[in-house]
Chains A and B, each alone.
Chain A
Amino acid sequence: MNRISSQQRKLVYLIAMGLLLAPIVYFGAPGDGSDDSGGQLSQLRSEYDLGETSLGNVDPASATMNLVLLGLRGIASNMLWGQAVEQKDQKDWAGLRATVDSIVLLQPHFKQVWEFQGWNLAYNVSAEWDGVADRYEWVKEGAKFMIKGSDRNQKYPELSWETGRILGQKIGRADEKKYFREYFLDDPNREGGGPDPDVNPDGKDNYLAAKDWFVRANEVEDQPGISQSRLARVLFRSYPVRSQIDYADTFQSEGKFDEIERIREAWEVASTELRNDWGSERFMTPAGAIVLEANDEILEAIVKEEGERFSLAEKREWVNRRQNMSNYRYWRLRCQVESEEKTINAHRNLFLGKRALIDRGDVVEAERLLTEGMVAMEEILSEWPELEQEDNFREECLKAVVLWRGAKQAQGKEVPVDFPLKNLWGSYPVEAAEYTELFRTLYGG
C-alpha cells in the first residue's frame, strides 16, 4: 500500500517540520526588548503591553507554575483561596502566608488578590496577635507583600498607593502607633536592630517612606493609558503632600519640640508641595481643565488654551467644587499657619503646659506655659479667623483652656472673667463642657 520507504518517509517528515518551523519563527520569534524586534506575536505583545515584562518584574517561579498548570490555574487559585480562609480561621499563620504566596504565583497580575491579601495580613492577621512586636511583624508582612505586588505590577497605581497606606496610616494611626513608629526605625524582630531594609531601606520616618510610595503611585498613574479606580483623581493625587503633612503634624503632636527647625521645615515643605505640586496640577472637570491653586490669571490662560470652550465663571465654579471636595483651602491654610514659628511655639507651650500639669503636677509652671500658649493661639486666630472652623485646632485651644482652668483651681485661684481664647470658649459651650467633663473623669478635680 505504502510505496515510499521508511527513509523517504523520514525525509518527508523532516521537510514538513522545516516548513512548519518557518511560520513559527516568523510569528513567534522572541524580541530583544525593543518594540519592533522579534516575530509578529512579539511585536503585537509589545504594542498592546501584554507581555509579562511590560507588566512588571517577572517571577520565574510564577511563570513555571502557570505553564505547568496549563489552564487550571483559576481552579487552583480558588482552592488555595478557600484554604487560606480556613488557615486564617484556624490561626495557621505560617500556612496562610505560604498559601497566599502560592495564590500570587498563580495570579501574579490580578490586582484584587494583592490588595485583599496584603490588607488581610497587615490589618486582620496582625490584630490576632497579642504582642505588639508580633503585630508589627505582620503589618510588615502585609507591606512587603504589597511591595512585591507593586514590583510585579508596575501598571497598577493602586498597589503602590496601598503600600503607602500601610506604611503611613497603619503604622502611624493604629492604637500601637507609638511602638510601630519606633519599630519602623528600630525593628525589634531584627537581629542588631535598625530598620528592616525590605520596608524601610533608607531608614526614614514612616510617613516619609509612605510619601515615597504615594509619589510612585502618582508617577504610575501619570503614564498614558493608566488610570486608578481607588479615589477621585483630585484626592488620589493629594496623598504625597498629605503624607508630608502627617509627618509634620505627628512630629509636632509627639512633642518633639527640641527639633523646632525640623518641624518648621517639614511644614514648609508641605506648604510648597501643596501649592506647587498638587495645587498646580491640572484636573479634568466637566468645564475642562482646572488647577486647585487657581487665580483668574491662571484660569484665563487655561480658557484661552482650550479655545474658550468654557467660560471663566464655569472654571471658577469647578475650582470651588474641587477645592471643597479635597478640603484644599483648609490644607493650604493649615500648612501656612503651622510653618510660622509663633504657631510652633504656641503648640509647644500648650504641650509642655499639659505635661507639667499632668505628669509633674507643677501647677505654677503649667499655668504660665498654658497662658503663653493661649495668648499666642488667640493672636493666630485673630490673624486667620477661619481656623476656628477647624476641628483639631479648636479642640487643642479648648482643651488648653480646660487645663489652664484646672491649673488655676489647683492653686486655689479664681478663674478671671477675662482670659485668652474667651471668645472661642464662649462660642462653643457644648464642646467646652464636654472637654471639662473629660478632664474631670480622667484626672478628677
Chain B
Amino acid sequence: MSFDVVGFDFLEGLTHFLKVFGGILAAALVVSLIIAFLKYGPRGFGLFFKTIWQAIVDFVHTSPRRVWAITMLTWKESSRKKALFVFVVFALLIMFAGWFLRSSVDRADLQLKVYVKFVLTAISWLTLPVVLLLSCWGLPTDIKNRSLHTVVTKPTRRHEVVLGRFFGFSLVGTVVLLVMGVIGYFWTVGQMPAEAKSELVGRVPVYGDMTYSNREGNRPQDASEETSGVNVGDIWEFRSYIEGGTKSRTFYDFDNLDVSEIREAGEFRIEYNFEAFRTHKGDIDKRLACQMTIVNKTNGLRVPLPIFEVHEFSNRAADKTIILGGVDDDGNRIDTVTYNEEATNELKTVNLYDEVLEGGDITIEVQCLDPGQFLGMARPDLFIRMPDRSFASTYFKAVFGIWLQMVLIIVIGVTASCFVKGPVATLLTFGILVVGTGFSELMQGLAAGQTEGGGPFESAYRMFMHLNPTTGFDEGPLKSVITLVDQIAIGFLWTVQHLFPRFEYYNMIPFVANGFDVPWRASLLPSIAVTLAFVIPCLILGYFSLQLREMEAK
C-alpha cells in the first residue's frame, strides 16, 4: 500500500477556522438578538447584552477546582456504569487474535501490517463507541435524575459543568486507551516473528516533487507543469509508468535536504517502491533492471548509481533501499561514492556530503533499462530516508491520534447532550462521525460546486425539464437567476460542511502498518488542529444550551 503525503498549512487552516467560526458566531448573535427582540420587545436588547456579559464574566471566573470536582464526579459515574468492562472485550480479542491472524500470511515481512492494523483498529472500535455512549448519556441522565440540580444550585457555572464533563470523559477514555495501547504494543512486538523484527521501525521519509520526461527525453521546464507517465491500464491509477530502454525518466526533486543530519547519521538512504509492468515475457527469471542517477543542482555533478533489480511489493526495506556511505568491513566510515562517469565511463570518486549532496538540492532520475517493459511509480514511491525513529514512538503517535479522535467525539457528544436528550445526542454524534468519516469528500465536492448538473436549484430545474446533467444550459436571464440562487445555497453548504470534522486525519494506522513514522505536518498537526477547532465552539454552544435549558423538563 502507498499513500500520498501532503503537508498541512497551519496558518491557512487557522485563517479558515476564524472565517467559519466568525461567520457562524456573527450569524448566531444576530439571530439571537432578533429572537430576543421578538420575544421580549425592546427589553430583549437589554437581556441579550446582559446574557453575553454574563457569559464573559462566567468564562473569566472559571474555577479549576470546580472543574476538577465535576471531572472526578464524571469519572466515578462512568466507573459505576461499568464502562471499564471494555477491557474484558479487549482482553478476549487479544487472547484469541492469534487464531485469526497467525496463519494469514506466511511472509514474515507482511505480518507487521496485519498485526498493527488489527491492534489499532480493535482499540479504536472498542474505545470510540464507549466514549460516544458515555458522553451522550451523561448529562441527560443527570437531568433526568435531577442530580444536576444539586450541582447547578451550587456556585458552579454552566460552562464548568460542560468542561468538567469534557475532562471527565476524556480521563476515562485516556485510561482505557493507555492500558489498551500499552498491551497492544507489547502484543504486536511479541507476535512479530524474529526474522521480521527489523521491520518494527518508524521510517522518516522526505518526499520530493515528481515530474516525468517522455520517451524522447523531453521534460517540462516549469516544475509546476503537470506531467504523467504512461497509463498501462491498471485499475488503480495511483502509479504512472515510464518505458524501458528509452529516454523516458522520472525526476524526483529534493530541495533543502538537511545534509548535516545525513552526515551525522553516516549514510544516505534512498528508498523506493516501484512496480513492474511487462508487455512481453522477456527474461522471466530476472526482475526488471533499473538505474538511478543523482544530480546535484548546485554543482551539476551527475552520479549514476549501480543498476538494481526491482523488488516490487516487498515490505522488506532491505530489498528496496539504496545506501550510500555507511561503514566498511572494518567499521570505518565511508564518506565517498565511486561511480563510472556517463560520458567517458571513467571511474571517479567524489565526497558524498560535500560534493554529491552539496547545498542539499538534488534531483534523482530513475530509468528502466529493459526495452519494452514499463516501470510504475508515484510521488511517495521514492524518498530520502532520514534516520529512523523507534517503532514505539510511531505506534504511540497513532494511539495519540485515536485519543484526539476520542476527545473530539466526547466534545461533540457532551455538547449535543446539553441541548437534546440521550438517544438524539447519540444519533447526532454518530451521524457526525459517519458523515465526517465517509462522506467528507462528497460534501467537499458539493460545497465546491464541482458536481455535474450544478447546484440544488439548477439540478431541480434539470430534473423538471428532463435535462441530462452533462447537457449544456442555455445562457440567459433564467440561468443567471438560478446560478445566483445556487451560489447562496452552495455558500450555505460550504458553511455546513465545516460542522463535520474530517476524521480522515485521525487515521494514522497506515503509517504504522507500513513502518513509517507518523508525520507531524501531514497527520498529527491537522488532527490536533481539528480537535482544538471544535473544542472552543462546542464549549460555547454547550454553555449557552445549558444556560437557556429548562432543567425541570425531563
Contact = CB atoms under 8 A, between A and B. Distances in A.
Contact of A131 (B96, B103, B107, B311): B311
A130 B288 contact: yes
A230 to B, nearest CB: 27
Nearest to A90: B236
B276 interface: yes
Nearest to A140: B106
Given A92-B1, A130-B312, A175-B281, A97 B236 contact: no
Contacts of B310: 130
B238 interface: yes
Interface SS of chain B: helix, strand, loop or mixed? loop
A28 B182 CA distance: 43
A137 B276 CA distance: 17
B62 interface: no
B101 interface: yes
Contact of B236 (A64, A91, A101, A175): A91
Contacts of A60: 99
B113 interface: yes
B111 A94 contact: yes
Contacts of A65: 100
A105 interface: yes
Contacts of A97: 104-105, 110
B313 A132 contact: no
A179 B288 CA distance: 17
Q: Looking at chain A, what size class is its interface with the partner chain? A: 20 to 34
A301 interface: no
B284 interface: yes
Contacts of B276: 130
A52 to B, nearest CB: 16
Interface string A240-267: 0000000000000000000000000000
A129 B313 contact: yes
B520 to A, nearest CB: 26
Contacts of B312: 129-131
B285 A132 contact: yes
Interface string A84-107: 000001111111011001100100
A105 B312 CA distance: 30
B498 interface: no
Given A129-B312, A130-B312, A94 B99 contact: no
B234 to A, nearest CB: 9
Contact of A134 (B99, B114, B288, B313): B313
B381 to A, nearest CB: 12
B278 interface: yes
Interface in A124-150: 128-132, 134, 137, 141, 144
A94 B110 contact: yes
Given A98-B114, A130-B287, A93 B104 contact: no
A51 to B, nearest CB: 21
A141 B287 contact: no
B1 A61 contact: no
A431 interface: no
Contact of B238 (A90, A128, A175): A90
B236 A141 contact: no
B235 interface: yes
Interface in B261-283: 275-276, 278, 281
Contacts of A64: 96, 99
B422 to A, nearest CB: 26
A36 interface: no
Interface residues on B, range: 20 to 34
Contacts of B415: none
Given A61-B100, A130-B276, A130-B287, A93 B313 contact: yes
Contacts of B507: none
A202 interface: no
A94 B287 CA distance: 21
A112 B105 CA distance: 21
Contacts of A92: 1, 113
* Residue of A98, A129, A137, A175 contacting most chain B CB atoms (<10 Å): A98
B124 interface: no
A101 B113 contact: no
B99 A101 contact: no
B105 A94 contact: yes
A130 to B, nearest CB: 4
Interface string B93-119: 000100111011111001101100100
B315 interface: yes
Interface string A183-202: 00000010000000000000
Contacts of B1: 90-92, 95
Nearest to B278: A130
Contacts of A129: 312-313
B114 A105 contact: no
A176 interface: yes
Given A98-B105, A175-B281, A105 B100 contact: yes
Contacts of A101: 100, 103-104
A141 B106 contact: yes
A326 B339 CA distance: 64
A94 B310 CA distance: 19
Interface string B110-146: 1101100100000000000000000000000000000
B100 A102 contact: yes
Contacts of B284: 132, 175-176, 179
Nearest to B274: A130
Contacts of B110: 93-94, 97
B236 A94 contact: no
Q: Which of A129, A137, A141, A144 gathers the greatest number of chain B CB atoms within 10 Å?
A: A129
B107 to A, nearest CB: 7
Contacts of B235: 89
Interface of B: 1, 96, 99-101, 103-107, 110-111, 113-114, 117, 235-236, 238, 275-276, 278, 281, 284-285, 287-288, 310-313, 315
**A-B pairs, 3 with minimum CB distance:** A94-B110, A130-B276, A61-B99
22 contacts: A61-B96, A64-B99, A65-B100, A89-B236, A90-B1, A91-B313, A92-B1, A93-B110, A93-B313, A94-B315, A95-B1, A95-B117, A97-B105, A97-B110, A98-B105, A101-B104, A128-B313, A129-B312, A130-B276, A130-B287, A130-B288, A175-B284
Interface of A: 60-61, 64-65, 89-95, 97-98, 101-102, 105, 128-132, 134, 137, 141, 144, 175-176, 179, 189
Given A89-B236, A97-B110, A101-B104, 6 more contacts: A65-B100, A94-B107, A94-B113, A101-B100, A141-B106, A175-B284
